[in-house]
Amino acid sequence: MNSPIGQPLALVTGGGRGIGRAIALRLARDGFRVIVADRDEQALSEAAAEACDREFVLEAARLDLTDREAVTDLIERNQPFAAIVNNAGIFNEKGFFDLDPEDFRRAYEINLVALFSLSQTAARRMEAGSKIVNIASRAFLGARNHAHYVASKAAVVGLTRAMAMELAPRGILVNAVAPGLIDTPLLKALTPERLAAQLALQPTGKAGRPEDIANAVSFLAAPRTDFITGQVLLVDGGKSLGGGMGL
Ligand SMILES: NC(=O)c1ccc[n+]([C@@H]2O[C@H](COP(=O)([O-])OP(=O)(O)OC[C@H]3O[C@@H](n4cnc5c(N)ncnc54)[C@H](O)[C@@H]3O)[C@@H](O)[C@H]2O)c1
């Protein structure tokens, strides 16, 4: 079992399941002491159990990331984070003409505003050499049937670039990973027809695995990665290359 003493501390939001859980397990394997923040109690215990099976420890913090007091408390009762992975996000499908402002507010509240608030509070205490990795989405380039999500993830990309510039003087590096279609519970928001249509657009013909995103995050969060900031790494099996249908 790994000892938590003397280890750099990482925080993974939405780390109870899906991509976040894979990231948390990977960072634990990389030598971080990892806190997983999630609102889903069951997901947190399943993540902790999976970590235990692999002889790692994941520390669970059950909270809603839109609760600023709870987030501040989590940050203040721990040593400064060496790495923060802002992964928690929500997704649902709705055509442009069916959307209303409330859909945008909900998507922005967790995908963008909660990410900003947590990062701002934590960054005040973070030391030079620390990393923030924001999980955006390939959808920031554009996608059908979820304009609110697309807009929120495009905003994450903009925020990542702005944070990178303002936090660089403190030695904090900020990057984003933009996943394409990844096989997680989030895909349940797609009808089988829409999922099939999405898969048909994949040059590799398949969805990615949460571990594919964890690999990219591991690289960006690593202490040796110290000259990359403000970048967006697309991990999408080539989907962002377009359809390849000729000129
Ligand atoms: N799965 C994909 O194909 C895909 C593609 C592109 C981007 N992404 C992004 O990757 C990230 C993770 O996606 P996933 O597929 O693993 O999703 P998921 O729905 O499987 O897991 C998300 C986790 O975040 C937690 N969470 C959500 N809102 C929260 C809140 N307010 N407070 C605390 N916890 C909260 C959930 O409880 C859940 O455990 C998201 O930001 C998503 O937008 C996913």
Protein residues with CB under 6 Å of any ligand 1 atom: 14, 16-20, 38-40, 43, 64-66, 87-91, 110, 135, 137, 179, 181-182, 184-187
Q: Which domain holds residue 175?
A: 9-238
Task: Exactly one of 56, 108, 140, 149 is catalytic; name it.
Answer: 149
Q: Is 108 a catalytic residue?
A: no
The secondary structure of 136-182, three-state, reads CCHHHHCCCCEHHHHHHHHHHHHHHHHHHHHHHHHCCEEEEEEECCE
Query: Does residue 129 form part of some domain?
Result: yes
- pLDDT above 50: residue 1: no
Query: Does residue 188 form part of some domain?
Result: yes
> Residue 84's domain is classified under what CATH number?
3.40.50.720
pTM summary value: 0.96
* pLDDT single digits (tens) 96-150: 999 999 999 999 999 999 999 999 999 999 999 999 999 999 999 999 999 999 9
Q: What percentage of the chain carries pLDDT values higher than 70?
A: 96
* pLDDT single digits (tens) 150-198: 999 999 999 999 999 999 999 999 999 999 999 999 888 889 998 998 8
Query: Does residue 88 form part of some domain?
Result: yes
- The domain total for the chain is 1
